[in-house]
Structure 1
Amino acid sequence: MIISIGNDHAGPNYKKAIVQFLEKQGHQIINHGTDTFDSVDYPDFGHPVAEDVANKKADFGIVICGSGNGIAMTVNKHQEIRAALCWTKEIAELARLHNDANIISIPARFTAIEQAVQMVETFLNTAFEGGRHATRVNKIACQ
Protein backbone atom coordinates (compact mmCIF):
# COMPACT_ATOMS: atom_id res chain seq x y z
CA MET A 1 0.00 0.00 0.00
CA ILE A 2 0.95 3.61 -0.43
CA ILE A 3 0.35 5.67 2.71
CA SER A 4 0.49 9.46 2.85
CA ILE A 5 1.41 10.94 6.23
CA GLY A 6 1.44 14.48 7.54
CA ASN A 7 2.07 15.97 10.96
CA ASP A 8 2.70 19.23 12.72
CA HIS A 9 5.21 19.96 15.49
CA ALA A 10 3.33 17.73 17.97
CA GLY A 11 3.97 14.61 15.93
CA PRO A 12 7.53 14.09 14.63
CA ASN A 13 8.24 11.23 17.04
CA TYR A 14 4.87 9.64 16.25
CA LYS A 15 5.49 9.92 12.53
CA LYS A 16 8.95 8.40 12.85
CA ALA A 17 7.65 5.36 14.76
CA ILE A 18 4.68 4.90 12.42
CA VAL A 19 6.82 5.21 9.29
CA GLN A 20 9.33 2.68 10.65
CA PHE A 21 6.50 0.25 11.38
CA LEU A 22 4.88 0.74 7.96
CA GLU A 23 8.14 0.37 6.06
CA LYS A 24 8.84 -2.92 7.89
CA GLN A 25 5.42 -4.05 6.66
CA GLY A 26 6.46 -3.22 3.08
CA HIS A 27 4.33 -0.10 2.62
CA GLN A 28 5.49 2.90 0.61
CA ILE A 29 5.32 6.24 2.44
CA ILE A 30 4.69 9.74 1.12
CA ASN A 31 5.92 12.09 3.84
CA HIS A 32 4.36 15.54 4.08
CA GLY A 33 5.11 16.06 7.77
CA THR A 34 7.59 18.18 9.61
CA ASP A 35 10.58 16.56 11.30
CA THR A 36 11.10 19.33 13.84
CA PHE A 37 9.34 20.55 16.97
CA ASP A 38 9.33 24.14 15.69
CA SER A 39 5.80 25.54 15.60
CA VAL A 40 4.10 25.08 12.22
CA ASP A 41 0.54 25.25 10.88
CA TYR A 42 -1.15 21.84 10.63
CA PRO A 43 -3.19 22.73 7.50
CA ASP A 44 0.07 23.02 5.55
CA PHE A 45 0.68 19.31 6.25
CA GLY A 46 -2.89 18.04 6.21
CA HIS A 47 -4.03 19.34 2.83
CA PRO A 48 -1.28 17.49 0.87
CA VAL A 49 -2.26 14.21 2.57
CA ALA A 50 -5.92 14.75 1.70
CA GLU A 51 -4.99 15.53 -1.90
CA ASP A 52 -2.90 12.35 -2.15
CA VAL A 53 -5.81 10.22 -0.94
CA ALA A 54 -8.48 12.08 -2.94
CA ASN A 55 -6.41 11.84 -6.13
CA LYS A 56 -5.63 8.14 -5.49
CA LYS A 57 -1.91 8.83 -5.24
CA ALA A 58 -2.15 7.11 -1.82
CA ASP A 59 -4.40 4.33 -0.58
CA PHE A 60 -4.80 5.81 2.91
CA GLY A 61 -3.67 8.80 4.91
CA ILE A 62 -2.42 9.40 8.42
CA VAL A 63 -2.46 12.84 10.00
CA ILE A 64 -1.12 13.86 13.40
CA CYS A 65 -1.42 17.01 15.47
CA GLY A 66 -1.70 17.78 19.18
CA SER A 67 -5.41 17.09 19.64
CA GLY A 68 -6.00 15.46 16.27
CA ASN A 69 -8.97 17.79 15.80
CA GLY A 70 -7.50 20.64 13.78
CA ILE A 71 -5.83 18.45 11.22
CA ALA A 72 -8.94 16.21 10.98
CA MET A 73 -11.08 19.28 10.31
CA THR A 74 -8.60 20.34 7.66
CA VAL A 75 -8.56 17.08 5.70
CA ASN A 76 -12.32 16.65 6.01
CA LYS A 77 -12.77 19.83 3.97
CA HIS A 78 -11.88 17.70 0.94
CA GLN A 79 -15.01 16.16 -0.60
CA GLU A 80 -13.58 12.65 -1.04
CA ILE A 81 -12.12 12.39 2.45
CA ARG A 82 -13.56 10.69 5.50
CA ALA A 83 -11.07 11.29 8.29
CA ALA A 84 -11.65 9.76 11.70
CA LEU A 85 -10.15 11.08 14.92
CA CYS A 86 -9.06 7.96 16.80
CA TRP A 87 -7.63 7.48 20.26
CA THR A 88 -8.05 3.71 20.63
CA LYS A 89 -7.59 0.82 18.24
CA GLU A 90 -11.25 -0.08 18.72
CA ILE A 91 -12.31 3.32 17.40
CA ALA A 92 -9.85 2.94 14.51
CA GLU A 93 -11.42 -0.42 13.68
CA LEU A 94 -14.97 1.01 13.74
CA ALA A 95 -13.88 3.98 11.63
CA ARG A 96 -12.95 1.55 8.86
CA LEU A 97 -15.69 -1.05 9.43
CA HIS A 98 -18.64 1.33 9.65
CA ASN A 99 -17.47 4.65 8.15
CA ASP A 100 -15.03 3.58 5.42
CA ALA A 101 -12.62 6.21 6.77
CA ASN A 102 -9.68 6.78 4.44
CA ILE A 103 -7.59 8.94 6.78
CA ILE A 104 -6.85 8.34 10.45
CA SER A 105 -6.22 11.38 12.65
CA ILE A 106 -4.07 10.81 15.71
CA PRO A 107 -4.01 13.11 18.78
CA ALA A 108 -0.33 13.08 19.73
CA ARG A 109 -0.86 14.78 23.08
CA PHE A 110 -3.46 12.23 24.15
CA THR A 111 -2.07 8.88 22.95
CA ALA A 112 1.17 7.01 23.46
CA ILE A 113 3.37 6.29 20.44
CA GLU A 114 2.89 2.52 20.81
CA GLN A 115 -0.87 3.06 20.94
CA ALA A 116 -0.72 5.18 17.78
CA VAL A 117 1.18 2.45 15.93
CA GLN A 118 -1.43 -0.12 17.02
CA MET A 119 -4.24 2.18 15.83
CA VAL A 120 -2.58 2.56 12.43
CA GLU A 121 -2.08 -1.20 12.14
CA THR A 122 -5.73 -1.84 13.00
CA PHE A 123 -6.95 0.92 10.68
CA LEU A 124 -5.01 -0.38 7.69
CA ASN A 125 -5.92 -4.03 8.30
CA THR A 126 -9.66 -3.49 8.68
CA ALA A 127 -11.91 -3.63 5.64
CA PHE A 128 -15.10 -1.61 5.20
CA GLU A 129 -18.06 -3.77 6.13
CA GLY A 130 -20.41 -2.25 3.55
CA GLY A 131 -24.05 -3.32 3.72
CA ARG A 132 -26.20 -0.98 5.78
CA HIS A 133 -23.11 1.14 6.45
CA ALA A 134 -22.62 1.88 2.75
CA THR A 135 -25.97 3.69 2.61
CA ARG A 136 -24.93 5.86 5.53
CA VAL A 137 -21.47 6.57 4.15
CA ASN A 138 -23.00 7.62 0.83
CA LYS A 139 -25.06 10.23 2.70
CA ILE A 140 -21.96 11.88 4.21
CA ALA A 141 -20.83 13.72 1.06
CA CYS A 142 -22.58 16.99 0.26
CA GLN A 143 -24.06 16.92 -3.20
Structure 2
Amino acid sequence: MRVHLGSDHAGLELKNHLMTHLVDAGHEVVDHGPFVYDALDDYPVFCLRAAEAVADEFDTQGSLGVVIGGSGNGEQIAANKVKGVRAALVWSQETAVLAREHNNANVISVGGRLHSLEDMTAFVDTFLATPYSDEERHTRRIGMLADYETTGDLPPLPASALTGPTDTSTDQ
Protein backbone atom coordinates (compact mmCIF):
# COMPACT_ATOMS: atom_id res chain seq x y z
CA MET A 1 0.00 0.00 0.00
CA ARG A 2 1.14 3.55 -0.69
CA VAL A 3 1.19 5.71 2.44
CA HIS A 4 1.63 9.49 2.32
CA LEU A 5 3.26 11.18 5.30
CA GLY A 6 3.33 14.84 6.31
CA SER A 7 4.15 16.54 9.59
CA ASP A 8 5.60 19.59 11.24
CA HIS A 9 8.68 19.92 13.43
CA ALA A 10 6.85 18.33 16.39
CA GLY A 11 6.07 15.25 14.31
CA LEU A 12 9.39 14.97 12.49
CA GLU A 13 10.85 12.27 14.74
CA LEU A 14 7.75 10.06 14.42
CA LYS A 15 7.52 10.68 10.67
CA ASN A 16 11.12 9.60 10.19
CA HIS A 17 10.54 6.53 12.37
CA LEU A 18 7.39 5.64 10.41
CA MET A 19 9.25 5.95 7.10
CA THR A 20 11.58 3.13 8.10
CA HIS A 21 8.93 1.08 9.89
CA LEU A 22 6.44 1.19 7.01
CA VAL A 23 9.03 0.47 4.31
CA ASP A 24 10.22 -2.52 6.37
CA ALA A 25 6.58 -3.68 6.53
CA GLY A 26 6.38 -3.61 2.72
CA HIS A 27 4.58 -0.31 2.18
CA GLU A 28 5.50 2.28 -0.41
CA VAL A 29 5.97 5.51 1.53
CA VAL A 30 5.89 9.02 0.13
CA ASP A 31 7.38 11.68 2.41
CA HIS A 32 5.87 15.13 1.91
CA GLY A 33 8.12 16.73 4.52
CA PRO A 34 9.47 18.37 6.43
CA PHE A 35 12.90 16.99 5.76
CA VAL A 36 14.87 18.93 8.38
CA TYR A 37 14.00 20.25 11.80
CA ASP A 38 12.74 23.84 11.76
CA ALA A 39 10.93 24.95 14.92
CA LEU A 40 9.16 27.65 12.91
CA ASP A 41 7.81 25.50 10.09
CA ASP A 42 4.11 25.51 9.23
CA TYR A 43 2.22 22.20 9.24
CA PRO A 44 -0.22 23.16 6.43
CA VAL A 45 2.69 23.24 3.95
CA PHE A 46 3.34 19.53 4.45
CA CYS A 47 -0.01 18.15 5.60
CA LEU A 48 -1.99 19.65 2.72
CA ARG A 49 0.41 18.03 0.25
CA ALA A 50 0.09 14.63 1.91
CA ALA A 51 -3.70 14.94 2.01
CA GLU A 52 -3.93 16.04 -1.64
CA ALA A 53 -1.88 13.02 -2.69
CA VAL A 54 -4.23 10.72 -0.76
CA ALA A 55 -7.29 12.38 -2.31
CA ASP A 56 -5.77 11.89 -5.77
CA GLU A 57 -5.04 8.20 -5.20
CA PHE A 58 -7.54 6.85 -2.65
CA ASP A 59 -10.24 5.77 -5.09
CA THR A 60 -7.87 4.34 -7.70
CA GLN A 61 -4.97 2.99 -5.64
CA GLY A 62 -6.30 2.77 -2.08
CA SER A 63 -3.56 5.05 -0.79
CA LEU A 64 -3.81 6.26 2.80
CA GLY A 65 -2.11 9.02 4.75
CA VAL A 66 -0.72 9.95 8.13
CA VAL A 67 -0.24 13.54 9.28
CA ILE A 68 1.63 14.26 12.48
CA GLY A 69 2.07 17.25 14.76
CA GLY A 70 2.39 18.06 18.42
CA SER A 71 -1.27 17.36 19.20
CA GLY A 72 -2.46 16.30 15.75
CA ASN A 73 -5.35 18.77 15.87
CA GLY A 74 -4.09 21.36 13.39
CA GLU A 75 -2.82 18.66 11.07
CA GLN A 76 -6.22 16.96 11.04
CA ILE A 77 -7.94 20.28 10.32
CA ALA A 78 -5.53 20.95 7.46
CA ALA A 79 -6.03 17.50 5.94
CA ASN A 80 -9.81 17.84 6.17
CA LYS A 81 -9.68 21.01 4.06
CA VAL A 82 -8.75 18.85 1.06
CA LYS A 83 -11.79 17.73 -0.92
CA GLY A 84 -12.18 13.96 -0.70
CA VAL A 85 -10.19 13.55 2.51
CA ARG A 86 -11.71 12.17 5.67
CA ALA A 87 -9.05 12.69 8.34
CA ALA A 88 -9.54 11.38 11.86
CA LEU A 89 -7.62 12.31 14.99
CA VAL A 90 -6.41 9.04 16.48
CA TRP A 91 -5.31 8.61 20.09
CA SER A 92 -5.82 4.86 20.63
CA GLN A 93 -5.98 1.63 18.69
CA GLU A 94 -9.76 1.69 19.09
CA THR A 95 -10.05 5.12 17.45
CA ALA A 96 -7.78 3.90 14.64
CA VAL A 97 -10.10 0.93 14.02
CA LEU A 98 -13.26 3.05 14.15
CA ALA A 99 -11.76 5.67 11.82
CA ARG A 100 -11.48 3.01 9.11
CA GLU A 101 -14.44 0.75 9.91
CA HIS A 102 -17.10 3.43 10.44
CA ASN A 103 -15.81 6.51 8.62
CA ASN A 104 -13.64 5.04 5.86
CA ALA A 105 -11.06 7.62 6.93
CA ASN A 106 -8.25 7.87 4.43
CA VAL A 107 -5.94 9.99 6.60
CA ILE A 108 -5.21 9.84 10.30
CA SER A 109 -3.61 12.47 12.45
CA VAL A 110 -1.57 11.68 15.54
CA GLY A 111 -0.02 13.85 18.23
CA GLY A 112 3.72 13.34 18.39
CA ARG A 113 3.96 14.93 21.83
CA LEU A 114 1.10 12.98 23.38
CA HIS A 115 2.01 9.31 22.97
CA SER A 116 5.01 7.05 22.97
CA LEU A 117 6.67 6.13 19.69
CA GLU A 118 5.53 2.53 20.20
CA ASP A 119 1.90 3.52 20.77
CA MET A 120 1.76 5.82 17.76
CA THR A 121 3.35 3.15 15.57
CA ALA A 122 0.66 0.72 16.74
CA PHE A 123 -2.08 3.27 15.95
CA VAL A 124 -0.74 3.66 12.40
CA ASP A 125 -0.33 -0.09 11.88
CA THR A 126 -3.88 -0.68 13.11
CA PHE A 127 -5.28 2.03 10.83
CA LEU A 128 -3.50 0.64 7.77
CA ALA A 129 -4.59 -2.94 8.51
CA THR A 130 -8.27 -2.18 9.17
CA PRO A 131 -10.70 -2.34 6.25
CA TYR A 132 -13.82 -0.22 5.86
CA SER A 133 -16.90 -2.12 7.11
CA ASP A 134 -18.99 -1.19 4.04
CA GLU A 135 -22.10 -1.21 6.26
CA GLU A 136 -25.05 0.63 4.71
CA ARG A 137 -25.46 3.08 7.62
CA HIS A 138 -21.81 4.13 7.43
CA THR A 139 -21.89 4.41 3.64
CA ARG A 140 -25.07 6.53 3.89
CA ARG A 141 -23.43 8.91 6.38
CA ILE A 142 -20.23 9.22 4.34
CA GLY A 143 -22.41 9.94 1.30
CA MET A 144 -24.13 12.77 3.16
CA LEU A 145 -20.77 14.33 3.95
CA ALA A 146 -19.54 13.92 0.38
CA ASP A 147 -22.74 15.50 -0.97
CA TYR A 148 -22.37 18.44 1.42
CA GLU A 149 -18.72 18.84 0.44
CA THR A 150 -19.76 19.05 -3.22
CA THR A 151 -23.01 21.01 -3.07
CA GLY A 152 -23.00 22.82 0.28
CA ASP A 153 -26.57 21.61 0.80
CA LEU A 154 -27.41 20.27 4.26
CA PRO A 155 -28.90 16.77 4.41
CA PRO A 156 -32.67 16.74 5.01
CA LEU A 157 -33.82 16.51 8.60
CA PRO A 158 -35.41 13.20 9.63
CA ALA A 159 -39.11 13.26 10.50
CA SER A 160 -38.29 12.89 14.20
CA ALA A 161 -36.34 16.16 14.13
CA LEU A 162 -39.20 18.04 12.50
CA THR A 163 -41.54 17.53 15.44
CA GLY A 164 -38.84 18.20 18.03
CA PRO A 165 -39.40 18.78 21.72
CA THR A 166 -42.34 20.85 22.84
CA ASP A 167 -41.54 24.29 24.25
CA THR A 168 -42.89 24.26 27.80
CA SER A 169 -41.52 27.60 28.91
CA THR A 170 -43.98 30.05 30.45
CA ASP A 171 -42.16 33.15 29.23
CA GLN A 172 -44.42 35.25 27.05
CA apart distance, 1:58: 6.8
**Which amino acid in the other structure matches residue 106 of structure 1?**
V
- Name the CA distance, whole Å, in 1 between partners of 2:139 and 2:13: 35
Partner of 1:73: 77
Give the Cα separation in 2 of the matches to 1:80 and 1:96: 15
CA contact (8 A) 1:52 1:58 kept: no
Distance 2:62 2:33 in 1: 15
Q: Is the 8 A contact 1:3 1:58 kept in 2?
A: no
Mapped to 1, the partners of 2:53 and 2:90 lie a distance apart of 20
Q: TM-score, normalised by structure 1?
A: 0.95
Structure 1 residues 98 and 87: CA distance shift in structure 2, 3 A: same
Q: Which has the higher helix share?
A: 2
Separation (CA, whole Å) in 1 of partners of 2:66 and 2:81: 15
5+ unaligned residues in a row in structure 1: which ranges?
A: none
Q: Compare relative contact order (CA 8 Å, sep 6+) and give the higher one, 1 or 2.
A: 1
2:108 matches 1:117: no
TM-score computed with the length of structure 2 as normaliser: 0.79
- Aligned-residue Cα RMSD (Å) equals 1.3
- Stretches of structure 2 that go unaligned for 5 or more consecutive residues are 152-172
**Contact 1:4–1:32 (CA under 8 A) maintained in structure 2:** yes
Which of structures 1 and 2 has the bigger CA Rg? 2
Q: Does 1:89 align with 2:93?
A: yes
Query: Aligned residue pairs: how many?
Result: 143
Residue 133 (str. 1) matches residue 138 (str. 2): yes
Give identity over the alignment, percent: 41
Q: Distance in 1 between matches of 2:31 and 2:37?
A: 16
SS at match of 1:62: strand
